Chain A
Amino acid sequence: MTASNHRWRKFKNRLMQAVTCLCAILVVTPLVLVFYHLVTSGFSSINWAFFTQLPKPVGESGGGMANAILGTFILLGQAALLGVPIGVFGGVYLSEYGSSRLNWWIRFAADILNGVPSITWGIVVYALLVVPMKGFSALAGGVVLGMMMIPLVMRTTEEVLQLVPNGYREAALALGIAKWRTIVQIVVRTALKGIVTGVLLALARVAGETAPLLFTAFGNRFWTHKLTEPIAAMPLQIFNYAISPYDDWHRQAWAGALVLLLLVLSINIGVRFLTRDRFQRNV
């Protein structure tokens, strides 16, 4: 091998290293840009009133998004009530029971559902709930987000349960422990952090959904007293304010987007924190 050959090889190595590094930076850039822009545009509009007051009528300055913030949490709560049990139980079925053939179809269906555009979900729930109930409602909003969570939670639950080594199942069954007890007390318990992580990430994912809520929760400029009434949500409020012609509303939209981003970010950081443990667990 000649010296020039060697130099050319070293050069190629450096070049590829630089290209991969550049791509890695490109991946992170949007997050930094979005965050920077939101902080500079939205931070100044965040104040106490933003978290405690209702929106003011057009023309009046001030006011806040208290109803939308609470609305988002109410919608997420309903979504979790619907999506977590069905998703987790479904994931347990896929991982621990089920024939491989049926499982293939369920997995296939879940993966397709995960790829369904969110506006389609909105239309589905509009037809299933909003039309029969003759009105937009918080309930319909919670249901649509919950339905979106089901396949997400189901697949992550299945995946983390599959990571539990089979040796633990066998050890428990060999002790004469019933199968359902083995699943609940050994398998699910070993994978619990992974399941919680999956649930939180699914919640973070649906927290920012706007399109399905347009057809279901609809939005509300006031407090919602019943689940059968339309309810405000942060993504909806941001959307409505952003397309409005008023500067004051634009500022509120920036602030809302910043708060929503911080909410999603804190869920993600919380997940990181939860999954760090004193002693190594398996998932």
Chain B
Amino acid sequence: MADNATIHPTATAPSSTAANAVALNVRNLSVFFGANHVLKEVSLNVPARAVTAIIGPSGCGKSTFLRALNRMHELVPEARMTGEIRLFGNDIYAPSVEPVLVRRRVGMVFQKSNPFPTMSIAENVTVGLRLNGARDRKLLVERTEQSLRMAALWDEVKDRLNAPAISLSGGQQQRLCIARALAVQPEVLLMDEPASALDPLATSKIEDLILELKKDYTIVIVTHNMQQAARISDFTAFFYLGELVEFDVTTKIFTSPVKKQTEDYVTGRFG
């Protein structure tokens, strides 16, 4: 299955990913918004149970790439894509596949924390289950605790699960959003700059959490913060002007990148 065709100078699957199964197999992905060619022929394999960081200057297509992985980019009316994305072997763009079902398997956390203001902390955690038809109270209670524990928020909120979610601090709200995404038990978690609006302490909590979560989940994270990518990711993909420039093991990208552009970017010479 491992298609090792080298489309870009670096392999789409770095050698050391061989140890990991491939969670997301992206082939020749192009995304257009109207006449705008935003993402150009991107191919890469996202390894399972690892953190893959997407870096690159603003407007390079990082977020579009992330959103294509759970078909969220389709919310833009004139969005169009070509190519193929397989999630553990299943083509997520097959005509018979509903976007809703893809999104249950590939969860997402956004830059701006967005707990639902009309709901309590507990209701926020279980909303994905309840609005998909789960009625079993016992399951919901269990899943609330389990998800909040995974998101390292349980100890802080266990005495006020019925308090409004927006009474939490910014960092807590973001971890609540992570708990909410985890509650539907996705296989992959996409994070779009999840810590860029948080203070350093809250950021380090989110980073610790990501390192903890990768034991069970495949994580793809877009970040503007190079140090953050270096600290938490196993693999790093560098995007520039809609193209995948280089994809490799993180230490390699940050110490001895193959491409000059990558080196310039990670050393802060442009971007």
A108-139 near B? 1/0 per residue, CB < 8 Å: 00000000000000000000000000000000
A281 x B118 contact (CB < 8 A): yes
Q: Known contacts A165-B114, A190-B118, A281-B117: does B103 contact A174 (CB below 8 Å)?
A: yes
B100 beta carbon closer than 8 Å to chain A: yes
In chain B, what residue has the closest Cβ to A279? B164
B132 beta carbon closer than 8 Å to chain A: yes
Q: Which chain B residues lie closer than 8 Å to A281 at the CB level?
A: 117-118
Q: Which chain A residues lie closer than 8 Å to B116 at the CB level?
A: 168, 171-172, 186, 190
B82 beta carbon closer than 8 Å to chain A: no
B161 beta carbon closer than 8 Å to chain A: no
Q: Which chain A residues lie closer than 8 Å to B101 at the CB level?
A: 176
Docked Cα-Cα span, A178 to B132, in Å, equals: 8
Q: Which chain B residues lie closer than 8 Å to A190 at the CB level?
A: 116-118
B161-183 near A? 1/0 per residue, CB < 8 Å: 00010110000000001001100
Q: Which chain B residues lie closer than 8 Å to A175 at the CB level?
A: 103-104, 107, 127-128, 131-132, 180-181, 184
Question: Which A residues, 160 to 177, have Cβ-Cβ distances below 8 Å to chain B?
Answer: 165, 167-168, 170-177
Q: Which chain B residues lie closer than 8 Å to A280 at the CB level?
A: 117, 166
The residue among A176, A182, A282 with the most chain B CB atoms within 10 A of its own CB is A176
Q: Which chain B residues lie closer than 8 Å to A174 at the CB level?
A: 70, 72, 103, 107-108, 110, 181
Q: Report B27 CB to chain A, min CB distance, Å.
A: 23
Docked Cα-Cα span, A190 to B166, in Å, equals: 13
A171 x B110 contact (CB < 8 A): yes
Docked Cα-Cα span, A217 to B9, in Å, equals: 80
Q: Report B166 CB to chain A, min CB distance, Å.
A: 7
Q: Known contacts A175-B184, A176-B132, A176-B184: does B117 contact A170 (CB below 8 Å)?
A: no
Q: Report B78 CB to chain A, min CB distance, Å.
A: 11
Contact among B100, B103, B110, B167 with A167 in the assembled complex (CB-CB below 8 Å): B110
B100 x A168 contact (CB < 8 A): no
The residue among A165, A167, A174 with the most chain B CB atoms within 10 A of its own CB is A174
**Chain A binding site: helix, strand, loop or mixed by DSSP?**
helix
B80 beta carbon closer than 8 Å to chain A: no
Contact among B70, B105, B177 with A171 in the assembled complex (CB-CB below 8 Å): B177
Q: Which chain B residues lie closer than 8 Å to A167 at the CB level?
A: 110, 112, 114
In chain B, what residue has the closest Cβ to A177? B131
Q: Known contacts A178-B100, A280-B166: does B75 contact A173 (CB below 8 Å)?
A: yes
Q: Report B187 CB to chain A, min CB distance, Å.
A: 12
Number of B interface residues in the complex (CB < 8 A): 28
Docked Cα-Cα span, A171 to B194, in Å, equals: 13
Contact among A176, A192, A282 with B128 in the assembled complex (CB-CB below 8 Å): A176
Q: Report B211 CB to chain A, min CB distance, Å.
A: 22
Docked Cα-Cα span, A189 to B116, in Å, equals: 10
Question: Which B residues, 64 to 120, have Cβ-Cβ distances below 8 Å to chain A?
Answer: 70, 72, 75, 100-105, 107-108, 110, 112, 114, 116-118
Q: Report B259 CB to chain A, min CB distance, Å.
A: 32
Q: Which chain B residues lie closer than 8 Å to A168 at the CB level?
A: 114, 116-117
A37 beta carbon closer than 8 Å to chain B: no
A29 beta carbon closer than 8 Å to chain B: no
A9 beta carbon closer than 8 Å to chain B: no
A205 beta carbon closer than 8 Å to chain B: no
Contact among A171, A172, A192, A279 with B167 in the assembled complex (CB-CB below 8 Å): A279
B100 x A177 contact (CB < 8 A): yes
Question: Which A residues, 167 to 208, have Cβ-Cβ distances below 8 Å to chain B?
Answer: 167-168, 170-178, 181-182, 185-186, 189-190, 192
In chain B, what residue has the closest Cβ to A191? B118
Q: Report A53 CB to chain B, min CB distance, Å.
A: 46
B131 x A181 contact (CB < 8 A): yes
Docked Cα-Cα span, A282 to B117, in Å, equals: 8
Q: Known contacts A167-B112, A279-B164: does B118 contact A173 (CB below 8 Å)?
A: no
Question: Which A residues, 255 to 283, have Cβ-Cβ distances below 8 Å to chain B?
Answer: 279-282
Docked Cα-Cα span, A165 to B111, in Å, equals: 14
Q: Which chain B residues lie closer than 8 Å to A185 at the CB level?
A: 127, 131
Question: Which B residues, 108 to 165, have Cβ-Cβ distances below 8 Å to chain A?
Answer: 108, 110, 112, 114, 116-118, 127-128, 131-132, 164
Docked Cα-Cα span, A175 to B181, in Å, equals: 6
Contact among A173, A181, A186 with B103 in the assembled complex (CB-CB below 8 Å): A173
Docked Cα-Cα span, A185 to B181, in Å, equals: 17
Q: Which chain A residues lie closer than 8 Å to B180 at the CB level?
A: 171, 175
Given contacts A178-B100, A182-B131, 10 further A-B contacts (CB under 8 A): A167-B110, A167-B112, A168-B117, A170-B72, A171-B177, A175-B104, A176-B102, A178-B131, A185-B127, A279-B167
Offer 11 A-B interface pairs, CB within 8 angstroms, sorted by A: A170-B72, A170-B110, A171-B180, A174-B103, A174-B107, A175-B107, A176-B105, A176-B132, A177-B131, A190-B118, A279-B167
**Interface residue ranges, A against B (CB under 8 Å):** 165, 167-168, 170-178, 181-182, 185-186, 189-190, 192, 279-282
Q: Rank and list the top 6 A-B pairs by shortest CB-CB distance, nearest first.
A: A176-B104, A175-B128, A167-B114, A174-B108, A176-B103, A177-B131
